[in-house]
Structure 1
Amino acid sequence: MRIIKRILKFIAILIGILLITMVIIIFVDNQSTNYLKVENNEFAKSNSYLITNVNVVPMNQDTILVNKMVYIKDGIIKNIADNIEVKDIKIIDAENKYLTPGLIDMHVHIWDKYELGLYLSNGVTSIRNLWGMPMHLRLKEDVNNDEIISPIFFTTSPKLTGPEFLGDDNLQLVNPSDAKEKVISYKKRGYDFIKTFYGLTEDIFDAIIEQAKISDMDIVAHPSQKVPYSYHFNPQIKSIEHAEDIIQQPLNYTLDTLKLKEVINDFAKSKHSSFSPTLTVYNNIYQMLIDDNILESERLQFMNPLIKKVDSKAEFERWSTAKLNDSSVVNAIKKQHDFHIKIIKKLHEIDVTFICGTDAGIGVTIPGFSIHQEFSFYKEAGLSNYEVLKTATVNASKTHSIMNEMGTIEIGKIANLLLIDDNPLLDLSVLQNPSTVFIKGRKLNRETLDNFEKQAKNRNNLIISALRYVEFLIVEK
């Protein structure tokens, strides 16, 4: 009996030590991201300004409004005019710079708060997280309560898959009633959208669509190979993800131009869904194949350490092994990327609505920085600078009704804005280092943005990231 009591006491002590350790880890992580708290940022405390001598790129039309004033009050654009008289307001002389809407990345994977600063530093003022976890609901609450400086944050539910698609990161649905219960639960818990993934059979997918409509939740679809690709052109599905899945599903892993024509025709018949190509994340497979030192590169220093240690390394080893076994894989991946560009060209010819998504946060696709690489691919596919910029502004904002208050510079819109040195309609690269970012009217200068990058570089939060993932497995699985 005494031995049992000693064992139980020992177990209790271990559990106590573990709990104390977890509390300390969480506390240290929270302290490390204090630089994002609104109360700790002097310039971000005010959200009312009068910007003068500024050239406005409104993005609701292909034009420049030259030498205007823009009045921001309580984070909202109140007026745009040649002359605005407002008393007791902070004035920002833009010195003939250009004011654009903040960028929106519609396909990201968030792992920690540090990444929020990386997005802002690169001009991304709104993000749509497409792999929902409990941590994201807390993060969303912090953002909505204006406790931290962050892009406006939206998140889907966890990924819903069919019964055959295994993996600890997926939720296998086995029947329609299970699917409906999940949608109802996600709505109640505060997820913004439903994320559908591989392996969903038609009966289960139909149940998701039916309940999503009842629950007033938009669906974001990573195409399921268990239904025809055209099945995803449904009014409840607001965006379809990934150019690569066009090749992997309706084209059956071939670069078949005749089959592609059929897919293009299906897109032409439907105007319900936007399309998020995520060209960067696939191109990064090619980058891994041609750069044996990519995991040690400077840009990978901005990746979450858990993802770098697990996902980035696994992806790199997978493709390195594939190259060792068959050197032709390098050219094959490059050809498929080039075919993705062709897909975008063909879809652009029929006026498909593109929304910019990067799939940042997985593999070697870096949060924030990757959006500018994505832009370059759209440009290569034949979009004008204005059309490219639309993918991450007005087009993105129209995808979901809860995002309609951003994406353009108009009276009544949220003041998510970038102040940049030159005209982005002539040179998109000027978007890479905005001199000032306004997030809900709060002003972040370049020095502050550079500090966000510095804080996120080589961060030491592997354990807390692992704990959050374990939480996801316990709560959602």
Structure 2
Amino acid sequence: MKKFYLLTVFVIFSSCNMKISTEQAYQSSHQEMIYAIKNVNIIPMTTKNTVIKNATVVIKEHKIYSINKSIPKNATIIEGKNKWLIPGLIDMHVHTLSDGTPFVMYPTKGPLVSFNTQYNMTPYIANGVTTVFELGARPEHIGQRNEIIRGDVIGPRIALAKVIGGNKSNLTAKTPSDGRNAVRFAKEEGYEFIKVYTWLNEETFKAVVDEAEKQNMKVVGHIPVAFKGKQAKDFFIPNFGLIAHAEELSKQTDNYSYKKAQEFARLAKENSTWLIPNLSNMVAIEQQAKSLQNIENLLGFKYVHPLMQNKWLMSNSYHGVSDDLIAYYKELIDFHILIVKAFKEAGVPMVAGTDAGISGIVLGFSLHEELKLLVEAGLKNAEALASATRLGAQWLGIDDKIGTIEVGKFADLILLNENPLEKISNTSKISSVFVNGKWIDRNKIDTMLSDVENWNNDNKEKFDWKELLNSLKN
């Protein structure tokens, strides 16, 4: 009995020690370095956005600890002379690759293709995209976010919108009752936003948006084709807070005049509906329709997963269309520019999003192109930057945490070699990135990108989109 007692005590003591050791190891592995960026020019992206020159920024415990205060003795010094510090960028419309397949062939089967989460996230981080809004969220994306939060993967913050559509969606709703239940289910499953999709009928669309408001969930998404030919005021309803593409508006009309763009802008303003212009989308469609060489020439294409490289090049649904359809794409591109001008004129907030992950739009790299297109459409450089920083954070409801450079906010930052207020393309001239207070310098960025490129090259022959689709039939 005495031996049993001693053994029990030993086991309990060992268990406690193991627990303490594990907790200590966890805390140790999450001990944050303290950094001080000296002599840097801060573009805070606050409403006033007064540039703070030759400043010192201290980063501690994931956050911006101080600006122009004393430097802690144990801080790692980063020289910021002649460099520019901006908040991390937010892409408000992405579709990140994740494990999974749309068909369950038999229980326990699991995904047909699995992806390395770090390789998926690296293009975001390399381009200073520290927050993304996943507009096709599935359980696998929750898993990806958990990997990032645990520290297993260096990646952006991920906001999740669950798609509800009339068909071809993870959640399908054909009646108002179905729509309301789908919203409740999405909330219970941990999704934070609702994305309404193209094929909802009018009554179900309105029910989904109304139920989302009751559940305190914002709504982003498409304008259902059910509204085609009806008055635009019919789909500008309370709590439809963000239109996912300018294309959603152009699909509702055959009148591509500035007057029509102004009508959309007026109704959006009255309804407090914001816009993701997503100019990249239609530009990418037109480019690949013209030539697949435009796909291969994409900046960052070599970092696209081999399966998607194969799909974009060998099974491209846009390529080979008629000249008339290409001309139509150009007409839409021009109208979307008018929409941006009209929304700016009306004072409707616009946030930058790219549709990253769809054919021809590369994760991370595409946001810099979107900012360039927004400036070409009439936004000032500072306005374009606001669309990818402060305003995105505001719509997501996390502007108290990210989106500007202010003491107390999370240290999601980009150190640039050139001033983006002078030239918007300077957002891509990245010296280093801070992700939740973790410093990723240029050498580390290049190494991370090289890892992705090398893996893609080594595994390119293993992936064929058509073969994957055929395997689903077996």
TM range (shorter): 0.7 to 0.9
CA spacing shift, 1:313–1:186, aligned 2, 3 Å: farther
Distance 2:461 2:190 in 1: 27
Residue of structure 1 in register with 2:308 after alignment: 307
Change (3 A) 1:269 1:436: same
1:405 partnered with 2:401? yes
Paired amino acid for 1:87? K
Q: Distance in 2 between matches of 1:187 and 1:181?
A: 10
TM-score, normalisation: structure 2: 0.81
RMSD after superposition: 2.8
Pair 1:362–1:56, CA change in 2 (3 A): same
Between the aligned partners of 1:265 and 1:105, the Cα distance in structure 2 is 25
Per-residue CA deviations over 1:124-170 (Å, capped at 9, x if unaligned) read 1111111011210111222223332101111211x2112xxx43x45
Instruction: Please name the residue that 1:396 is paired with.
Output: 392
In the alignment of these two chains, the number of paired residues is 415
Which structure 2 residues correspond to residues 123-272 of structure 1 after superposition, within 5 A? 123-157=128-162, 159-162=163-166, 166-167=167-168, 169=169, 171-227=171-227, 229-249=232-252, 251-252=253-254, 254-270=255-271, 272=272
Q: Is the 8 Å Cα contact of residues 222 and 240 (structure 1) preserved in structure 2?
A: yes
Answer 1 or 2: higher relative contact order, Cα 8 Å, separation at least 6: 1
Identify the residue that residue 366 of structure 1 maps to in structure 2.
Answer: 362
Instruction: State which of 419, 422, 428 in structure 2 corresponds to 1:423.
Output: 419
Q: Deviations over 1:238-273 (max 9, x none)?
A: 311111121111x14x42444333223212323x22
Check whether the contact 1:48–1:89 (CA below 8 A) recurs between aligned residues: yes
In structure 2, C-alpha distance between the alignment counterparts of 1:240 and 1:140, rounded to whole Å = 24
Q: Take 2:158 and 2:460, find their aligned partners in 1: how far apart are those partners?
A: 21
Identity percentage of aligned residues: 31
CA deviation after TM superposition for structure 1 residue 231, in Å: 4.4
Structure 2 CA distance for partners of 1:202 and 1:331, relative to 1, 3 Å: closer
- 1:119 equivalent to 2:124? Answer yes
Aligned partners of 2:352 and 2:388 also within 8 Å: yes
- How far apart in 2 are the matches of 1:140 and 1:219? 21
Deviation at 1:230, TM superposition (A): 3.4
What is the rounded CA distance, in whole Å, between the counterparts of 1:161 and 1:311 in structure 2?
Answer: 25
Report the alpha carbon displacement of residue 202 of structure 1 after superposing the two structures with TM: 3.1
- How far does residue 215 in structure 1 lie from its aligned partner after superposition? 2.3
CA deviations on 1:167-191 (whole Å, 9 max, x unpaired) are 3x45331222222222222212222
Identify unmatched segments of 5+ residues in structure 1: 1-38
Q: How does 1:424-463 map to 2 (within 5 A)?
A: 424-457=420-453, 459=456, 460=459
Distance (whole Å) between structure 1 residues aligned to residue 265 and residue 57 of structure 2: 42
* Alpha-carbon offset, residue 295 of structure 1: 4.5
Distance 1:260 1:387 in 2: 20
Partner in structure 1 of residue 350 of structure 2: 354
Q: CA deviation at 1:356?
A: 0.2
Partner amino acid for 1:211? E
Query: Corresponding residue for 1:105?
Result: 91
Q: Is the contact between residue 416 and residue 429 of structure 2 (CA under 8 Å) also seen in structure 1?
A: yes
Q: Is the 8 A contact 1:232 1:240 kept in 2?
A: no
Does structure 1 conserve the Cα–Cα contact (< 8 Å) formed by 2:33 and 2:61?
Answer: yes
Unaligned ranges ≥5, structure 2: 1-24, 99-116
**Structure 2 CA distance for aligned equivalents of residues 118 and 306 of structure 1:** 16
Report the Cα distance in structure 2 between the residues aligned to 1:180 and 1:105, rounded to whole angstroms.
Answer: 28
Contact 1:123 1:433 in 2 (8 A): no
CA distance in 2, matches of 1:71, 1:411: 9
Q: Is the 8 A contact 1:238 1:400 kept in 2?
A: no
Secondary structure (helix, strand or coil) at the match of 1:422 reads coil
